[in-house]
Amino acid sequence: MRRFYVDVLGFAVEWEPDADNVYLSSGIDNLALHRAKGDVAANGALDHLGVIVRTPEDVDAWAAFLESRGVALAAKPKTHRDGARSCYLHDPDGNAVQIIFHPPISGA
């Protein structure tokens, strides 16, 4: 899991206190990965997580990059009614990840 977020999505490791916990940052987005103990529900409570990009074209660039790395897209880039543009993929554990340009916050 760590390798996917670091090697494919470009997050940097901020802190890895032990083998079960790692804290990552893209400089804009932060993500904490914790290895679950025991039985975990198949789909958990997380619907998806979003990774913010600065422009609509960045969504397309990410989609092309991910596909070039063998990552199948769950949903190709699409512009939504609110002007956002995004695509979806799944990480190695099956969590949905949205690469998203969202006008109110992408330029921040």
Kindly state whether residue 3 falls inside one of the protein's structural domains. Answer: yes
Average of per-residue pLDDT across 70-87: 94
104 and 67 in a common domain: yes
Q: What pLDDT is stored for residue 31 in this prediction? A: 83
pTM for the whole thing?
A: 0.73
d(CA 36, CA 20): 8
Residues 29 and 55 grouped into a single domain: no
57 and 99 in a common domain? yes
Query: Mean pLDDT across the chain, nearest whole number?
Result: 87
Is a pLDDT exceeding 80 seen at residue 90?
A: yes
pLDDT digits (tens, 9 = 90+) for 30-77: 787 877 776 555 555 666 888 999 999 999 999 999 999 999 999 999
Instruction: Specify if 55 maps to a domain.
Output: yes
Host domain of residue 64: 47-108
40: in domain: no
**Phi-psi map region of 76: left, alpha, beta (phi>0 left; psi -120 to 50 alpha):** beta
CATH of the domain at 100: 3.10.180.10
**Cα separation, 44 vs 38, whole angstroms:** 13
Residue 78 in domain? yes
